Structure formats: structure tokens, C-alpha cells
Structure 1
Amino acid sequence: MGTRSVWNGSISFGLVNIPIKLFTVSDSSNEYSFNQLDEKGHKIQYKRWCPIEEKEIPYEEIKKGYKIAKDEYIIIEKEDLDKIKAATTKTIDIKEFIDIKDFDTVLIEKSYYVSPFTDKTSGKRKSKQKESVLSASTKAYRLFVSSLKETDKIAIGKVVLKDREHLVAIRPYQRGMVMHQLMYQEEITPIDEIDGMPGSESSVSSAPIDEKELELGRMLIGNLTSSQFDATQYSDEYTKQLEKMVTAKSKGITYKTEEKEDSLDTSNNLLEALKASVQRSKTVKN
């Protein structure tokens, strides 16, 4: 793998200890970002400004603060944070195993690839003892992956990353494993608090769904169902268009987008919308 690991440690459960490395799943190197400029194209700079004393504050004088009331904060010193700082650990401590079907993907915040630990040190001759240890570690990793696959289980554990304790889920993925950094339940907004969500206080009662509409709905889903999901057929079309536009403007060329056909407006008639959608899905599938 060309990327560098972001964390080295081990997976621990029972008396088993498996040395591993973590790698970020996403690649942000191709993302476009914009700078803020004035009308003459000069880059805007930002100052750490105190509006009360009307002066710029040097970085070394900046403090962390926690808001307790309007315009009222308490200063949190580094020493205060050190008192509650999570103990440094290099272990993913597995707490339990759950069925894959019971895993709620809404909890996922970030994902990492999990690879077996290998010593890539070049120019140094490895001893037979060291090679034996690495071989045993790789075998333990493969055994763990196979065990999870055979039992359709996901491992739930805790690990300290960047001085914060995280809840994580580890599952088999293709030839290896992936670790999901999870949000805690208290960080999830209850669905009943979402405006307009069915069952919430703000939801609006709607007309009942008749059998014809339900039948067309099932038919539409059936026509658009694939035998196997292939993520490679999807790409970021917006970024591609943005890249073309930036390239054109850098060359002084006016960028033009292709005009799309207007879609049929059936927003006020659910039955007609379903019929039109089913007909269109037949054409797409064929």
C-alpha cells in the first residue's frame, strides 16, 4: 500500500493479541477547495480579533473557553484537560461481538482499513525470530477475519485515537478488515425530533396509500434492482464538471454545460408519477 499508516497497535480480546495498522479509507487529495478573495483577486487573511478590546490577539495568548451563558465563558487550561486525558493506549479492546444484521450503520462516523502489522524496514536483515513473530501475527489476523466471516459477526470495541476514546466496530471487508469509528448513542439526534418525520409531533397526516400505488412502487423498485451492487459505476460527476470548468477558465475559455431534458412534472399526482417512473425504468433497464 502506498499510503502511510495513521496508527499502529493491536486488537485484543480474551488472551488474543493481534498486531495491526490503520489506514484512512478516504482519499482527500483530489478534493477541490476554494480560497476567499477580494474583487481584485487578492487572498483574504484572517486575524484573531478581540472585539471588546479592539485588538489582534497573538496565537500564544489564545485560550480554550467553554460557553456557560450568553457572552460568558470559563477558561480551560491545558492542565485541566490533562487531568481527564484518556490514558495512552495502543490497543483496540474488543468488548463484544454482535450479529451483522444488528449493526446500525447510522452510527458510523469514519472508517479505516485494518491491515496486519508488517515490518517494512529496509536495509536491515530480519532475524529468524522476528520473521517467525510476523508470520504468527499475520496468521492470527487471517484467522480473526475468517472467524468473523464464518460467524457473520462484527467486533465492537474501544480505542484511544488522538487523545479521545472512541467506540469502534471491526468487520471483514474484501480480503481484510475495516474499522468503523462510531458515534455514541447520545450523539445521535432522536428521529422523533426531526421536523416532519412520520410519528413526530410536527408530522402532517397524509392520505392512505392504496394497493395500486403500492403495486407500482414495488414494480419500480424491482425494475431498478441490480443483482449485485457495483460501487465502481458511480463517480463524483459534480467534481468532474468542476475540474473541466476550472481548466477552461484557466485557459480563458468559456465553459458550457450540456443542457438536460426537462423531466415530466408529476409532483401533484403520485399515481401518474409512479406510472411514468415504471415506464422509464423499463427503458433504462433494456
Structure 2
Amino acid sequence: MGARAISSGTISFGLVSIPVKLYTAASSEQVRFNMLHRKCGGRLKMQYYCPVDDEVVERGDIVKGYEYARGQYVRFDDEELKSLEAEKSNSIEIVEFVPLDTFDLIQVERSYYLGPDKGGDKAYRLLGEAMREKNRVAVGRWASRGKEQLVVIRPYRDGLLFHQLYYADEVRAFDDIDTGATFQFSDVERELAQKLIDQLSSDELQAEKYHDSFRERVQQAVDQKVAGEQVTVAPEAPRAHVIDLFEALKQSLAKEGAKEGPPLKPPKKAKETGTAAEGARPRRGRKRSAS
């Protein structure tokens, strides 16, 4: 049975229009729990409570408010918010094509597969091949759920992938992150780190070999409870002790089966550089918006 499309639209650029269908590319499979009353086991319902009037508020008496100052709100009813929504359209308007390597995955909010709709097969294929040959992706706009979304369309396998993006001002600036002190590493430390990377390297990511072990344990516990069995809890593995970086690299290489070679001498203690070497906190970069 084929996948079911969740929406349809038309990719447009210049005088070209490509009818397409959108399909869910990924969704969470986490185990979900309901809130129950411990006393009787009944499922609980969510209610809205007003502490000022000491009463439960019915849905018809609820309005939305934007907090512009602490404890101060401006109100909006559904009709007012409806009037502010982007005009509904099935058009995915391509604005520009940019190099693939300028597209940062940190901006991706969610992803969809794109497939051709009736009559769009040839143009769909041509767009994908042209972008692949030029090593570029399409940047566009799409009105969805009342909002104008920033999107990217890129070649994927023998088709197209559609990414809904965060806007630049929604991505936190990395310059605000304290990345710690800087160090001068010895050649021996660099060599050990690179050898460990080589030991753990693969030609490609095989995502199917990784599993959500927590979800599997929860599902096993659920199955046991349904069957009336006693739930068993596996003991925790002992935590590794924090040791010297050089020794940690050596032990990691040995654990991964590194080939025997000439013994490596411990390096001299790495020196910190800059203000961090003097025991001060490293300066943070100037705050700016992500681009």
C-alpha cells in the first residue's frame, strides 16, 4: 500500500508550475502515556482554572492574550487572529536557488517528501536533475496553517525533499555560547584522537542499526503488565571514571582493537592560550542574530 499524501500544492517559479503532493517524512514513535486517577484508574480531563474568580472556565469564555509587559495583556478573539493569517494558497513559490553548502540543517523545523501530482512527472524530474547538476537548492515561501513558511526544496534520492525552516531570528546565535578555554595540543594527542576516529569510522550512516532502547524497554514493560507478568528492571552499567585525556584516548584505542605500535610517550601538559590560560573566563562573542 502506497503512502498517503497529507497535502498537495504547486511549485511555481517563473512560468513553470509543478503540481506536487506532500508526504510525512518522519514522525515520533515514542510511547505516550495518559494521565489517570490513581484511586479509580479513570482518565483525567484537562480543565482551565481562574485563580482570580476561583472557578473552572468553560472553553466558550476563553480568549487569547499577548503578554506585552509582566501581568499586562492585550486580548485577541478568534476573528481578529483569523484576519491576520496569511492568505491561504497551495502555491509553493520559489524565490531563489542557493548553493547546497550554504543551507544549514540547524534551520530545519520539519521535513516532508515531495512526489509529483497528476501531470507533473516530467517537470518534477527535470527540477530535481537540474538542481542536482548545479548543486543548488530552492528557497521559497509557502502559506500553511495561517503562517507564511520559509521552505527549502532539494534533490533527495530520485525525488525531492521539502524542508520547512525556522526564520533566522528564531535560530539562537552560536556566538552567545561559552565554548571554554582554548588549548595547544601536542602532536601525540592529535595522533591518538585521529586514530580513534579512524577506528570508529564508517563509509556511511546506517540509521537502521540504531534503535531507541528506552522505547523498547518501555514497550517491553507495557507488554509484561498487559500479560500480568512482573516487570523486571535491568541494573545500571557502572559509570566510567574521569581520567587523564591522554590515558582516556589510549584506553579507547585499546578497547576498539587498535594495532600495536611503538609505545607513545605522554605529552607535556597542554597549555591554555589567551585569557583562559590565566584562569579567567573566556570572553563571549558579541551577541548577534543568526544568519
* TM-score bracket, shorter-length normalisation: 0.7 to 0.9
Code of the aligned partner of 1:247: D
1:266-281 matches, cutoff 5 A = 267-281=242-256
Code of the aligned partner of 1:230: Q
Q: 2:154 aligns to what SS in structure 1?
A: strand
- Structure 2: distance between partners of 1:261 and 1:72: 51
**Match for residue 134 of structure 2?**
151
Moved over 3 A (4+): 257-264
How many residue pairs end up in the alignment? Answer: 257
- Structure 1: distance between partners of 2:186 and 2:212: 37
- Structure 2: distance between partners of 1:6 and 1:12: 19
Code of the aligned partner of 1:53: D
**Match for residue 186 of structure 1?**
169
Unaligned 5+ segments in structure 1 are: 119-133
Give the number of the structure with larger relative contact order, counting CA–CA contacts within 8 Å between residues 6 or more apart. Answer: 2
Q: 2:68 aligns to what SS in structure 1?
A: strand
**Match for residue 125 of structure 1?**
none
Q: 2:159 aligns with which of 176, 186, 211?
A: 176
TM-score (norm 2): 0.82
1:98-109 matches, cutoff 5 A = 98-109=98-109
TM-score (norm 1): 0.83
**Match for residue 39 of structure 1?**
38
- What RMSD, in angstroms, separates the aligned Cα atoms of the two structures? 1.9
Q: Deviations over 1:144-176 (max 9, x none)?
A: 111122221111111011111111111111121
**Match for residue 209 of structure 1?**
185
Code of the aligned partner of 2:16: V
Unaligned 5+ segments in structure 2 are: 259-291
- Structure 2: distance between partners of 1:24 and 1:5: 8
Q: Deviations over 1:18-64 (max 9, x none)?
A: 00011111244x43111122332333222111110111211112111
- Structure 1: distance between partners of 2:25 and 2:46: 32
Q: Structure 1 residues 38, 82: closer, same or farther in 2, change over 3 A? A: closer
Q: 2:184 aligns to what SS in structure 1?
A: coil
**Identity across matched positions, percent:** 33
- Structure 1: distance between partners of 2:248 and 2:35: 43
**Match for residue 10 of structure 2?**
10
**Match for residue 94 of structure 2?**
94
1:12-161 matches, cutoff 5 A = 12-28=12-28, 30-40=29-39, 41-118=41-118, 134=119, 137-161=120-144
Code of the aligned partner of 2:55: K
- Structure 2: distance between partners of 1:47 and 1:257: 35
